[in-house]
């Protein structure tokens, strides 16, 4: 796995992740809990920004932590725990979105209401930032899932393309193509009502923001 | 979000948008998430180091008694000791922290126990090993004419003696192991998590011979195993075998496979005799494999039948979330969430449960019930994480 360096980490007190990972591998329960408490909010924030709503964030975070804590022995660089966790969070979000889309296509779930970025835009956000959030999230539910994930990681989290590619498990060329396609859809959505993509159900496409 | 980094400039797009996405994860929510993660990790380890050390001390004493060690005897005294599974799922923690779960009628023998090398011989039956990595120490499980070299992992070794000869199988749940035929140690077969390997009907085995109650050290001791006529054959390629139990698959987080392994009506059958821990695990399997109605049933039974169990409140809360978010049953969700609060009034998820109950009651026929729940939430959590949303609920429509 490529090293992801610009994930939203913050300086922390206490032992470095590598030491916590080593202790957790040795079976120390407190080290597992410390790894959880240190990074859970960051994982939840990433999941929230990718999903655009709070509804399944807890499930994603819990699933991701169960996976990474049980697979610590696969982590080649123990200091890269946050990157490992972020990769798993992105995978779990992709899985949630796919399951949700399939269920809606089969009529098992009602159409989702469009994401309302005004509900989560910080009160300190300048008008241009709010407009940008509206632009991205207003069209998010209409985008194919892989394009959606790449777009949020690039436009919202501001990650370099290499790191977006790493988190999305794809090549740099692929992630560039996905982001370009997503950007094109955003532009189209500003000028005209967006037609549903082949990957999305018509019910979802009709539920977009005006 | 309190952990949000300072607002930064996105090199290509101006301000970093994530800096302005507010998503609050309060301490209570964090507590509830960790409780759920801990429960799903199996709770095999205590939460606090002191409790861990105390439990380890008790286990060490029990193991010492089990092996008949004299006070002051060294670890080398383990050599020659036997471990026998008297009932299903008996777990023994060895002095180095390794855990061995013995199936019924399983017999293991400690062949070597030194600082640098441990060798356990599977005389018969099935055992699951959870071995922490320790630098400079080799862990080997000997089964028939094969050795399983451990790196730091969890895996199952099974040795059967039948009319067609001896069969040895290995299922890796976590980590990685190497399997070698003892007379061809340079050609190991590596098995990774989720992979299985099986070798059946080995000609060199004693066909049809029932296992002795006491191990025959001379016949099985390393490194002088019986060499079969097929010793030069390469090891078979690993394959994903269906031999793992649903419990093992669940521990390996292969929830869909675990659900499938339960077989037709297996979920209902297991639920019939399940204790609280098993019910919680079944619910997780069903929820994670997409069988939401089954998950509903398991969580519901847990909270109704095991009200004194520490998981009952969490089960009721998870049931409420499931019904509200996925099953579109707000009335059922409201009932479950009320029960969650009643079962665990001091739990970390209480605020979430009360807020979600208001959400479940919002839009229902009884506005007074919604208002009552809303007011109760706001009285208890006037500046809670959900206060703004809760305050806007229960409006006539």
Mean pLDDT of B161-185: 74
Look at A158 and B45 and tell me if their CB atoms are within 8 Å. Answer: no
Look at B253 and A67 and tell me if their CB atoms are within 8 Å. Answer: yes
pLDDT at A180: 92
Determine contact, residues A157/A167, Cβ cutoff 8 Å: no
Determine contact, residues A156/B21, Cβ cutoff 8 Å: yes
Residue A144's nearest CA partner among A188, A108, A176, A97 is: A97
pLDDT at B87: 57
User: B261 or A112: whose pLDDT is higher?
Assistant: B261
Residues 6+ apart with CB under 8 A from B358: B370, B373, B374, B377, B390, B393, B394
Residues 6+ apart with CB under 8 A from B290: A99, B256
Question: Measured between alpha carbons, how far is residue B171 from residues A163, B94, B242, B263 in Å?
Answer: 35, 21, 10, 20
Share of chain B above pLDDT 70, in %: 70
The Cα–Cα gap between B232 and B310 comes to: 55
> Where does residue B200 fall: left (phi above 0), alpha (psi -120 to 50 degrees), or beta otherwise?
beta
pLDDT at B18: 85
The Cα–Cα gap between A105 and A101 comes to: 6
Share of chain A above pLDDT 90, in %: 38
- Closest CA of chain B from A77, distance in Å: 16
List, as ranges, residues 92-131 from A with C-beta within 8 Å of B: 99, 110, 120-126, 128-130
HEC assignment per residue over A87-152 = HHHHHHHHHHHHHHHHHHHCCCCCCCCCCCHHHCECCCCCHHHHHHHHHHHHCHHHCCHHHHHHHH
User: A39 or B176: whose pLDDT is higher?
Assistant: A39
pLDDT at B246: 85
pLDDT level of residue B162 (50, 70, 90 thresholds): low
pLDDT at B86: 59
Determine contact, residues B128/B101, Cβ cutoff 8 Å: yes
pLDDT level of residue B33 (50, 70, 90 thresholds): confident
Reported ipTM: the value is: 0.82
Residues 6+ apart with CB under 8 A from B387: B377, B378, B381
CA dihedral A29, B35, B1, B17 (to 10 degrees): 80
State the average pLDDT for chain B: 71
What is the pTM (predicted TM-score) of this model?
0.42
User: A110 or B350: whose pLDDT is higher?
Assistant: B350
Q: Provide the residue-wise pLDDT of chain A in tens; the chain has 210 residues.
A: 333 334 444 444 457 888 889 888 887 777 888 889 889 999 999 999 999 988 889 999 999 999 999 999 888 888 899 999 999 999 999 999 988 888 777 777 677 677 888 888 888 878 888 888 888 898 888 899 999 999 999 999 989 999 999 999 899 999 999 999 998 888 787 665 444 444 433 333 333 332
Determine contact, residues A73/A30, Cβ cutoff 8 Å: no
HEC assignment per residue over B24-80 = CCCHHHHHHHHHHHHHHHCCCCCCCHHHHHHHHHHHHHHHHHHHCCCCCCCHHHHCC
Q: For B101, which DSSP code? A: E
Most A CBs within 10 A among B5, B7, B23, hence the mutation to make, goes to B23
* Residues on chain A touching B20 (C-beta within 8 angstroms): 121-122, 124-125, 129-130, 133
Q: Is the peptide bond before B223 cis (omega within 30 degrees of 0)?
A: yes
Tokens 């675990």 locate to B258
CB atoms near residue A209 (< 10 Å) = 18
Determine contact, residues B183/B227, Cβ cutoff 8 Å: yes
pLDDT tens for each residue of B352-390: 889 889 989 987 667 889 999 999 999 988 876 677 778
3-state helix, strand, coil in chain B (%, to 5): 40, 20, 40
3-state helix, strand, coil in chain A (%, to 5): 65, 0, 35
Look at B2 and A41 and tell me if their CB atoms are within 8 Å. Answer: yes
pLDDT level of residue B187 (50, 70, 90 thresholds): confident
> Where does residue B265 fall: left (phi above 0), alpha (psi -120 to 50 degrees), or beta otherwise?
left
Residue B198's nearest CA partner among B169, B175, B218, B174 is: B169
Q: Where are the alpha helices (DSSP H) in chain B?
A: 27-41, 49-67, 217-220, 246-251, 255-261, 266-272, 276-288, 292-305, 312-325, 330-343, 350-361, 367-380, 387-391
pLDDT at B220 over 60: no
Q: Does B45 touch chain A (CB under 8 A)?
A: yes
Task: Give backbone dihedrals phi and psi of A190, rounded to 5 degrees, phi first.
Answer: -75, -30
Mean pLDDT of B91-104: 77
The Cα–Cα gap between B113 and B120 comes to: 9
- Closest CA of chain B from A30, distance in Å: 6
pLDDT at B57: 39
Tokens of B197: 């390997």
User: B340 or B231: whose pLDDT is higher?
Assistant: B340
Q: Does B269 touch chain A (CB under 8 A)?
A: no
Residue B33's nearest CA partner among B44, B41, B21, B22 is: B41
pLDDT at A204: 30
List, as ranges, residues 294-333 from B with C-beta within 8 Å of A: 321, 325, 328
pLDDT at B253: 65
Render the burial of B117-142: b for 16+ CB within 10 Å, e for the rest. Answer: ebbbbbbbbbbbbbbbebeeeebbbb
* Residues on chain A touching B329 (C-beta within 8 angstroms): none
């Amino acid at each position: 796995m490529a090293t992801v360096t610009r994930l939203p980490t913050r300086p922390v007190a206490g032992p470095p992740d590598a030491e916590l990972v080593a202790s957790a591998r040795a079976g120390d329960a407190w080290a597992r809990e410390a790894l959880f408490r240190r990074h859970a909010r960051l994982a939840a924030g990433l999941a929230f920004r990718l999903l655009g709503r709070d509804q399944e964030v807890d499930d994603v975070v819990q699933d991701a932590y169960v996976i990474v804590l049980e697979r610590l022995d696969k982590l080649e660089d123990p200091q890269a725990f946050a990157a490992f966790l972020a990769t798993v969070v992105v995978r779990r979000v992709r899985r949630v979105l796919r399951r949700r889309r399939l269920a809606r296509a089969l009529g098992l779930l009602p159409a989702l209401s469009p994401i309302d970025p005004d509900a989560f835009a910080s009160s300190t956000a300048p008008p241009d930032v709010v407009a940008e959030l509206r632009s991205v999230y207003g069209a998010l539910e209409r985008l194919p899932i892989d394009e959606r994930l790449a777009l949020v990681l690039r436009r919202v989290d501001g990650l370099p393309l290499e790191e977006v590619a790493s988190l999305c498990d794809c090549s740099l060329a692929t992630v560039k193509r996905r982001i370009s396609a997503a950007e094109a859809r955003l532009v189209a959505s500003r000028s005209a009502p967006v037609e549903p993509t082949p990957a999305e159900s018509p019910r979802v496409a009709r539920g977009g923001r005006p | 979000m309190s952990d949000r980094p300072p607002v930064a400039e996105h090199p290509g797009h101006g301000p970093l948008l994530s800096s302005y996405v507010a998503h609050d994860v309060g301490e209570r929510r964090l507590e509830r998430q960790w409780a759920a993660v801990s429960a799903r990790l199996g709770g095999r380890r205590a939460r606090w180091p002191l409790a861990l050390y105390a439990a380890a001390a008790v286990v060490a004493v029990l193991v010492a008694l089990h092996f008949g060690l004299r006070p002051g005897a060294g670890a080398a005294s383990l050599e020659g000791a036997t471990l026998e599974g008297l009932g299903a799922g008996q777990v023994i923690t060895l002095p180095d922290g390794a855990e061995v779960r013995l199936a019924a009628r399983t017999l293991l023998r400690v062949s070597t126990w030194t600082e640098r090398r441990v060798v356990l011989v599977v005389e018969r039956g099935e055992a699951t090993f959870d071995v922490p990595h320790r630098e400079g120490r080799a862990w080997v499980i000997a089964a028939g004419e094969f050795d399983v070299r451990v790196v730091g992992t969890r895996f199952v070794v099974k040795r059967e003696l039948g009319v067609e000869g001896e069969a040895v199988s290995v299922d890796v749940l976590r980590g990685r192991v190497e399997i070698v035929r003892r007379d061809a140690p340079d050609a190991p077969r590596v098995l990774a998590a989720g992979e299985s390997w099986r070798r059946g009907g080995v000609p060199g085995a004693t066909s049809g011979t029932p296992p002795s109650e006491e191990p025959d050290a001379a016949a099985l001791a390393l490194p002088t195993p019986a060499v079969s006529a097929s010793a030069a054959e390469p090891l078979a390629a690993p394959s994903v075998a269906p031999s793992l139990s649903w419990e093992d698959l669940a521990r390996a987080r292969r929830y869909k496979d675990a659900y499938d392994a339960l077989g037709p009506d297996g979920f209902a059958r297991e639920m019939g005799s399940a204790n609280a821990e098993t019910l919680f695990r079944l619910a997780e399997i069903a929820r994670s494999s997409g069988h939401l109605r089954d998950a509903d049933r398991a969580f519901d039974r847990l909270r109704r039948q095991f009200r004194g169990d520490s998981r009952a409140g969490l089960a009721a809360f998870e049931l409420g979330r499931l019904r509200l978010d996925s099953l579109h049953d707000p009335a059922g969700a409201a009932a479950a969430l009320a029960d969650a609060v009643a079962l665990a009034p001091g739990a970390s998820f209480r605020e979430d449960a009360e807020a979600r109950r208001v959400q479940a009651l919002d839009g229902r026929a009884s506005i007074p019930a919604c208002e009552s729940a809303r007011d109760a939430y706001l009285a208890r959590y006037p500046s809670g994480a959900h206060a703004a949303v809760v305050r806007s609920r229960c409006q006539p429509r």
